[in-house]
Amino acid sequence: MDETAFAYRREQRGSLTVDKKEKGKKQSKQRITVCVATNADGTDRLPLHFIRKSKVPISLRNRDVLAEIGATYTNTAKAWMNTVKYCEWLLELNERMRQEGRHILLLVDNVSSHDDDPVQLSNVVIHKLPPNTTAALQPMDQRIIKSLKDEYQEKKEDAELDMFYSGVAYKPVDIFSAMKWLSEGWGDISTKTIRNCWCHTGTVSKMDMGYLLN
């Protein structure tokens, strides 16, 4: 499991809304924290967990986020993960595993919000990565998160093209659309990419992966 800050309104240079010549144009700083977790063979991707400042953003009012896009949403003062929200997420994960009769090992980064012994869990064992090893040992940081952001950008640009050719005036991405595209992109990442990222860390060897798949 890993978290990443994502500037969901940021435009790529050379897009329909940001010309390559507009070097001085300010980019939007609107961001959301995305929590990402999947098993080693990519067959069980947990619903993306989003964190933002607003308790109920306008575009999320009267919506069931889990039912509509298969994701979860919460808020904190700084739109970051904190220990309280981390514990809530763990308890929900543990309950799911308990209901499914499963026991899992969860790899997490060594950061302050990931308390060493946060809550009592029956079906989830937590293993914190050693300090300063995230870049090398965290599978999500190998290319999984990068692939997710690439998938999002593609869907965002497709939507912008649809608006452009339909003559609809451009409007900034709302948080529901951003969460929807990210959730769709999460499902579109190939299992091969996920497996390769896990193997690249050495956490799971190619031999182990072959055993898991068979």
Q: How far is CA 59 from CA 52, 175, 211, 213, in A?
A: 13, 6, 44, 40
132: left (phi over 0), alpha (psi -120 to 50) or beta: left
Q: What is the pLDDT of residues 27-52, one digit of tens each?
A: 677 899 999 999 999 999 999 999 99
A 10 A CB-CB count for 201 gives 19
- What residue type is assigned to position 184 of the chain? E
What does DSSP say about strands 104-108 and 124-128: parallel, antiparallel, or unpaired?
parallel
Asked whether 199 and 209 are in contact (CB, 8 A), the reply is yes
- Show the domain range for 81: 2-213
Tokens representing 86?
A: 């981390």
Cβ neighbours for 114, distance < 8 A, ≥ 6 positions apart: 83, 86, 108, 126, 128
pLDDT at 3 > cutoff 70: yes
62: left (phi over 0), alpha (psi -120 to 50) or beta: left
- Which helix or strand (DSSP H or E) is residue 4 part of? strand 2-6
3-class SS of residue 5? strand
Q: What is the pLDDT of residues 82-136, one digit of tens each?
A: 999 999 999 999 999 999 999 999 999 988 898 877 789 999 999 999 888 888 8
Q: What are phi and psi of 108, to 5 degrees?
A: -135, 160
pLDDT, residue 214, reads: 56
Query: What is the rounded average pLDDT of the residues 131-143?
Result: 89
Domain total in the chain: 1
Q: What is the pLDDT of residues 161-200, one digit of tens each?
A: 998 888 888 888 999 999 999 999 999 999 999 999 998 8
pLDDT, residue 29, reads: 76
